[in-house]
Amino acid sequence: MKTMKWLLRREFWEHKGAFFWAPVAVGCALVLFIGGGFMYTMTFGGMDNIQIDGHNVVSIQGFPPELRYKIAHILASSYMGIAAPLFVVLPVVVFFYCLSALHDDRRDRSILFWKSLPLSDRDTVASKVITALCVVPLITIAIAVAVALLLLVLGMFSAAGKGLNLFAPVLTQPNLYLSPLYLLAFLPLYILWALPTVGWLLMVSSWARSKVFLWAVGIPLVTVVLLKWFNFLLGQVSATLIDLDWFVEQVVVRGLGGLLPGIWLGAADMSAFVNNDEGLDPALLLAQSYLTLATPGVWLGVAAGVAMLFAAVRLRRFRDEG
């Protein structure tokens, strides 16, 4: 356990810029542009009324209490969504981290130093998997919660300056406090769906001598092109073809796009959210997301991911050349 702790610290120290400062920079940009823009609009915009076709639809000075509480409910339930750009940064950071995680040690020959220490290949690969699937997402979630809360407070202060006090109704909403916990509850789901991608990238990183990105992305894409060509030839003599759509969706997209948070929503039943004007229900979204674990494809992907991680450990043991 102590060895694993130091291995995880090593990964953080070596990639602190990508793991911590990159999401912090995006968070600061969100606060500056969204928070600043909203405050400027509310302060100098003079938008006391919302009009459609010249008729007042909503007057901030005369907000009905029920509408104010409805807005507070939507804000308290959905405020984490404003930090969504941070979860676009997450897959990019993890993707390139995994690509270089095992290759860079061989490229700069520091693998000889690390192998001189009493560290097993299994522990080394495990530390990189834990970093990619747990450490980086947890850092991103922490920064996202801080940014979302700050933007929510800025928004409420701006609204208060126009006479719309949302502090009391927002602070009494349970979802305000539960939303960060809901976000954490998605982490096990993210780990399961991202495992095939992390396994694939680490296996290629452990195997490729150079051009790791081209190997990782090129092999699946070239395979699709070859299968399409094979289908064309097979179609000349037979009506039975390979299901290329299934291969692209279940193999290529799962293999390369598993790091995208929310990729499982493509397999979830989203009909419950149609025509919902009460804002996002995080509990319902969490429940629908976990129902995707009932599909066998998820567990086949997990098994494939574990197998590729095992291959990455074996490859690292024997491919220590620079």
Q: What is the pLDDT of residues 55-68, one digit of tens each?
A: 554 555 556 777 77
Rg (CA), the chain: 24
Q: Which pLDDT band, with edges at 50, 70 and 90, does 54 fall under?
A: low
**What pLDDT is attached to residue 8?**
93
**What pLDDT is attached to residue 92?**
96
Neighbour count for residue 287 (Cβ, 10 Å): 12
**What pLDDT is attached to residue 82?**
87
Instruction: List, for residues 151-204, the tens digit of each pLDDT value.
Output: 999 888 888 877 777 888 888 888 889 989 999 999 999 999 999 999 999 999
State residue 206 phi and psi, 5-degree precision: -80, -20
Burial class (CB in 10 A: 0-12, 13-18, 19+), 253: middle
Q: Give me the amino acid identity at 97.
A: Y
Q: Determine the distance from the C-alpha atom of residue 157 to the mean position of all C-alpha atoms in its chain, rounded to a whole number.
A: 30
Mean pLDDT of 254-274: 84
| Contact call for residues 121 and 317 (beta carbons, < 8 A) | yes
| Contact call for residues 261 and 91 (beta carbons, < 8 A) | yes
Q: Give me the amino acid identity at 173.
A: Q
Q: Which has the closest alpha carbon to 151: 42, 45, 34?
A: 34
| Contact call for residues 196 and 308 (beta carbons, < 8 A) | yes
Mean pLDDT of 306-314: 95
| Contact call for residues 202 and 309 (beta carbons, < 8 A) | yes
- Residue found under tokens 């070239």: 222
Lowest mean pLDDT among 13-17, 76-80, 121-125, 210-214: 76-80
| Contact call for residues 141 and 184 (beta carbons, < 8 A) | yes
**What pLDDT is attached to residue 46?**
55
Q: Decide which of 209 and 56 is more confident.
A: 209
Mean pLDDT of 292-298: 90
Query: Is 321's pLDDT higher than 60?
Result: no
Residues above pLDDT 70, as percent of the chain = 89
Instruction: List, for residues 21-40, the tens digit of each pLDDT value.
Output: 999 999 999 999 888 887 77
Quote the crossing angle between the two packed helices 187-207 and 136-161, to the nearest 10°: 130
Phi-psi region of 240 (alpha: psi -120 to 50; beta: other; left: phi over 0): beta
Q: Measured between alpha carbons, how far is residue 220 from residues 8, 56, 198, 253, 312 in Å?
A: 30, 55, 15, 9, 18
